[in-house]
A and B are shown apart, each in its own frame.
Chain A
Amino acid sequence: MWERILVIIRKEFRQTLREKRMRVFLIVPPIMQLMLFGFAVNLDLVNSPIAFMDLDQSVESRELLSHFQGSQQFNVKYMPDSDAAVQKLLDHGDAQAVIKVLPGFAREIHKGHTAHVQVLVDGANSNTASILTGYCSQVIQAYGQRLRTGVAPLSAVAVPRVWFNPDLLSRNFFVPGVIMNIITMMTLMLTAMAIVREREIGTMEQLMVTPIRPIELMLGKTLPFVCIGAVQMTLVTTVALLVFHIPFQGRVLTLVFATLIYLMTTLGSGLFLSTVSQTQQQALMSSFFFFTPAFMLSGFSFPIRNMPEPVQWLTLINPMRYFIEILRGIFLKGLGVAELAPQLSALFVIGCMVLFGSARRFHKRLD
């Protein structure tokens, strides 16, 4: 049995690694994707272009302006002097927010009243808008605090301390998800295509008339992709640590173990797709059909607890959901196998079911 499996594995490696194009394909795109996505998936606001409209022209208003200028989050790019100009800036998306200081700002402060500052935010992207609003309030509040020096401080003040991702970098949160994305896509498609290709070129029929057992063929066709998946995982993780300085709190062994269990599900799904596809195009299409919803519902960017309840149940059978929790757990929180046991067991059960299901569908008959 192992003899035959080894023969197939050797053949797969030869076929996959013979062509230079394929060798390049296995290494360059994953790294390029990681670089691209890693830099792109970033919700942190740094240097957001904003406009400052000063209708008061007082010492106080200029002081507020310098607070904004001193903030890393903002880049005060425009100083409009009319409402029409403000409108234009927001319409064109040149400024993400406009800080409008109304006439009488200094006078109110001197009288000891509350002075108002208007903040106009481009709300097209609700997420960015709320983060931006938060930052604006922070800056304005800080300015207010300074005005109040000498007055008795507020009685209760919350001092937040953030664990696991102390700098609150969204990149630390997203890059593990990007790693998952790359590994999933690669192993899923490669397995699905590898088997369907044999069907297309007619070698599958030739294999089916040999005494080979379905399980031998399945293992022989998937084990090479376990290796390739593991190598890519190593590669991509290394780049993530070196280029993006993602914290890695956990243990390498935990990551290896979890990855191997996760690959059971992606390879199993690839096998399953190959049993329902007749051509490579079909295999490709069905890979996407499977991949996109699984990725959207993985919790990569949209929190699962915000989803409607039936959809939340659906995510329970989504292997990506568990793997992303595992990756974030290992990278950011330093969790070990014990803490990740629920997710790992879920992946293991799903993996076994998918593999078993596709093995059942994998016949040595044409009809």
Chain B
Amino acid sequence: MPEPDAVVIDKLVKRFGTFVAVDNVSLRVAKGEIFGFLGPNGAGKSTTIRILCGLLGPTSGQATVSGFDVATQPELVKRSIGYMSQKFSLYGDLTVEENLDFFSGIYGVPKERREERKSFALRMANLEERRGELTGQLPGGWKQRLALGCAILHEPPILFLDEPTSGVDPIARRSFWDLIYDLSAGGQTIFVTTHYMDEAEYCHRVALMYKGKVIALDTPRAFKQRLGAKSMEEVFINEIERQEAATA
């Protein structure tokens, strides 16, 4: 029996008034996959992720995460996911360690596992030396790594990362992606949105989202071969131009 998919989205629609933010999106993400969501700002990537995390209710259509329906079982969904938003969302006035302890408690990590998970997160984020510093004073890239550390304390099978590297320098971004690879190798499914084209190359599969629709979905290699493009950036621009021409 094949393993069930980590994320299944079926004809998902989200409207805000008359604006259609997510327009009939369907896709599946396999376990352990790094799935990239690529698209310009306002394409509906964050809205989709928020629906999958149970933060927003879908207008119509269905989505399951780890086998749980996001509309009817949001609390069960929340137990099996880690989430990191584009906005830095840790407590700047708590130290690195206090933030980790806080989220450990909130996620209900078993007491005997806490120390171990904390040192894992500290090591992963390379923050062992700065554990006593106030989080607000860390440089951007470090903050993002700590945010990722907080999101994986409870070892969630699925991780949603919403533009995790926005505003972070290229080297810090690179080291952040190394972390994502490690997590994926450990069996975690990673659903990540980005608008950095180089980052799309790191994903196993990429969906291009534009004006609420998924206009193309494939592996980065297949994309490039099919279009004869050298980089994902070219692929991206090509696809969007094609889409524009088709709707014009």
Chain A residues with CB under 8 Å of B85's CB are: 202, 205-206
Q: Does B247 contact A (CB under 8 A)?
A: no
Select one of B53, B57, B101 contacting A367, CB under 8 A: B57
What is the bound-complex CA distance between A193 and B85, given in angstroms?
22
Q: Does A333 contact B (CB under 8 A)?
A: no
Q: Does A159 contact B (CB under 8 A)?
A: no
Select from chain A the residue with minimum beta-carbon distance to B98. Answer: A14
Q: Is the CB–CB distance between A11 and B102 below 8 Å?
A: yes
Chain A residues with CB under 8 Å of B88's CB are: 202
A11-67 residues with Cβ-Cβ distance < 8 A to B are 11, 14-15, 18-19
Chain A residues with CB under 8 Å of B78's CB are: 209-211
Name the residue in B57, B103, B105 with the highest tally of chain A Cβ atoms < 10 Å from its Cβ.
B105
Task: Decide yes or no: A15 and B94 within 8 Å by CB, A4-B108, A203-B89, A209-B83 being known contacts.
Answer: yes
- Count of interface residues, chain A, beta-carbon cutoff 8 Å: 26
Q: Is the CB–CB distance between B98 and A203 below 8 Å?
A: no
Q: Does A219 contact B (CB under 8 A)?
A: no
What is the bound-complex CA distance between A207 and B99, given in angstroms?
12
* Min CB–CB distance B156 → chain A (angstroms): 10
Chain A residues with CB under 8 Å of B55's CB are: 205, 208-209, 364-366
Q: Does A7 contact B (CB under 8 A)?
A: yes
Q: Is the CB–CB distance between B102 and A7 below 8 Å?
A: yes
Task: Decide yes or no: A366 and B56 within 8 Å by CB, A18-B93, A202-B85 being known contacts.
Answer: yes
What is the bound-complex CA distance between A7 and B79, given in angstroms?
18
* Listed A/B pairs (14) with beta-carbon separation below 8 Å: A7-B101, A7-B102, A8-B102, A11-B91, A15-B93, A18-B93, A202-B88, A206-B85, A207-B106, A209-B54, A209-B81, A210-B106, A211-B79, A365-B57
Chain B residues with CB under 8 Å of A241's CB are: none
B105-164 residues with Cβ-Cβ distance < 8 A to A are 105-108
Chain B residues with CB under 8 Å of A206's CB are: 83, 85, 89-90
Q: Does B182 contact A (CB under 8 A)?
A: no
- Count of interface residues, chain B, beta-carbon cutoff 8 Å: 29
Chain A residues with CB under 8 Å of B93's CB are: 15, 18-19
What is the bound-complex CA distance between A208 and B94, given in angstroms?
19
Q: Does A212 contact B (CB under 8 A)?
A: yes
Having A15-B94, A210-B78, one finds 12 other A-B pairs with CB under 8 Å, namely A11-B94, A11-B102, A14-B94, A202-B89, A203-B89, A203-B90, A205-B87, A206-B90, A209-B83, A365-B56, A365-B74, A366-B56
Q: Does B92 contact A (CB under 8 A)?
A: yes
Q: Is the CB–CB distance between B105 and A4 below 8 Å?
A: yes
Chain A residues with CB under 8 Å of B89's CB are: 201-203, 205-206
Task: Decide yes or no: A367 and B87 within 8 Å by CB, A11-B98, A210-B103, A211-B107 being known contacts.
Answer: no
What is the bound-complex CA distance between A10 and B93, given in angstroms?
13
Chain A residues with CB under 8 Å of B81's CB are: 209
Q: Does B198 contact A (CB under 8 A)?
A: no
Q: Does A167 contact B (CB under 8 A)?
A: no
Q: Does B178 contact A (CB under 8 A)?
A: no
Select from chain B the residue with minimum beta-carbon distance to A22. Answer: B93
* B contact residues vs A (CB 8 Å cutoff): 50, 53-57, 74-75, 78-79, 81, 83, 85, 87-94, 98, 101-103, 105-108
Q: Is the CB–CB distance between B105 and A366 below 8 Å?
A: no
* Min CB–CB distance A302 → chain B (angstroms): 42
Q: Does A309 contact B (CB under 8 A)?
A: no
Q: Does A3 contact B (CB under 8 A)?
A: yes
Chain A residues with CB under 8 Å of B108's CB are: 3-4, 211
What is the bound-complex CA distance between A18 and B57, given in angstroms?
38
Chain B residues with CB under 8 Å of A202's CB are: 85, 87-89
Task: Decide yes or no: A209 and B106 within 8 Å by CB, A19-B93, A201-B89, A202-B89 being known contacts.
Answer: no
Select from chain B the residue with minimum beta-carbon distance to A18. Answer: B93
A285-329 residues with Cβ-Cβ distance < 8 A to B are none
Q: Is the CB–CB distance between B105 and A211 below 8 Å?
A: no
Chain B residues with CB under 8 Å of A3's CB are: 105, 108
Name the residue in A11, A18, A206, A366 with the highest tally of chain B Cβ atoms < 10 Å from its Cβ.
A206
Select from chain B the residue with minimum beta-carbon distance to A213. Answer: B75
* Min CB–CB distance A210 → chain B (angstroms): 5
Chain A residues with CB under 8 Å of B79's CB are: 211
* Min CB–CB distance B164 → chain A (angstroms): 13
Q: Which 7 A-B pairs have the closest CB atoms?
A: A7-B105, A202-B89, A202-B87, A209-B83, A206-B89, A209-B53, A366-B55
Select from chain B the residue with minimum beta-carbon distance to A207. Answer: B106
Select from chain A the residue with minimum beta-carbon distance to B78. Answer: A211
Q: Is the CB–CB distance between B87 and A364 below 8 Å?
A: no
Chain B residues with CB under 8 Å of A212's CB are: 106
